[in-house]
Amino acid sequence: MDKLAPIPALPLVAILRGLEPERAAEVAQTLFDAGLRIVEVPLNRPGALQAIATIVRMAPRDALVGGGTMLSAADVDAVHAAGGRLMVAPNCDAAVIARARQLGMLAMPGVATPSEAFAALAAGAHALKLFPAEVIGTAGLKAFASVLPAGTGLWPVGSITPGSLAAWRAAGAAGAGIGSQIFTPDLPIAQIGERARAFAAASAAAH
């Protein structure tokens, strides 16, 4: 089993849904230059595995790269083969979590209820993706934190902005996943960098 990759100091996951493989290096470098170190490429768009492999080859040593929307053990195997060491899913599937752990990947399944959260932890999840965060809200996150084991990493994903990041962190979020607020396939590279820097600054201010 591979050694489990540590979570980088800047606790933001850049979710690159729809990233074209030919843009992967440029987009990832822009994010890394802005200070981000966690990159997730969801598998439910074409070219995701190629994009992950490209990013892994040029990522800084302290970066954590992986796949999102990982719904099966086969998805886990494919991302691991591409060099990914992070497993993110929108749901809680014990078999997917178990396979990620077997391969030494950091397992972050998605949960929306306390029952799912406890099931994910029982299956071996290292951290929990709270999804969709806009439905759960900061009050919901506080409620999760009040009943889950101390130290459980809660990462809200969904409609989080630089302006709302501090409220999420104050509510107990360990980090956050950022999708279209940082990246969409049609966004110019300069704007991606601008958005990434805004999130990095907001995260630093929220500590």
pLDDT score of 5 more than 90: no
Residue 142 is among the residues annotated as catalytic for this protein: no
pTM of structure:
0.97
- Under the banding of pLDDT at 50, 70 and 90, the label for residue 52 is very high
Per-residue pLDDT tens digits for 96-149: 999 999 999 999 999 999 999 999 999 999 999 999 999 999 999 999 999 999
Say whether 3 is catalytic. no
d(CA 172, CA 107): 20
Q: 204 burial class (0-12, 13-18, 19+ CB within 10 angstroms)? A: exposed
pLDDT at 207: 73
Judged against a pLDDT cut of 70, whether residue 2 lies above it is answered with no
For residue 100, give both structure tokens.
């990620």
Domain limits of the chain?
12-206
**CATH, domain range 12-206:** 3.20.20.70
CB atoms within 10 A of CB 139: 8
User: Which of 3, 129, 142, 194 does the annotation list as catalytic?
Assistant: 129
Among 3, 20, 40, 142, which one carries the catalytic annotation?
40
1 pLDDT higher than 70: no
